[in-house]
Amino acid sequence: MWEKSHALVLFIYHATKSFPKEELFGLTSQMRRASVSIPANIAEGAGRESIPERLHFLQIANGSASELQYFLLLSNDLHYFPA
């Protein structure tokens, strides 16, 4: 499961390279942190012993995915992605 989210991280890092430099510590940083949080929390949850602990980390990953979804919408509306 984490492999697809790892591919998403690579995509986000590549896509945000073309963002305006003034976004480096703003939207670029937030998108990268949110994307990295997804596979990191999936991996951490997989290493936990109990199902409630695993679910907790999957919920965090899901929250990060929702956050990233908004950042992608915003980036698109700001025309930060090339045509």
Domains of the chain, by residue range, sit at 2-9+23-77
Q: Take residue 2 and report the two structure tokens written for it.
A: 């984490």
CA-closest candidate to residue 57, choices 45, 43, 47, 67: 45
Confidence of residue 81 (pLDDT cuts 50, 70, 90): confident
pLDDT exceeds 90 at position 8: yes
Q: What is the mean pLDDT of residues 54-61?
A: 97
DSSP helix/strand/coil, 75? helix
CATH node for 2-9+23-77: 1.20.1440.60
What pLDDT shows up at residue 83?
Answer: 62
Tokens representing residue 82 in the block? 């090339």
pTM of the model: 0.91
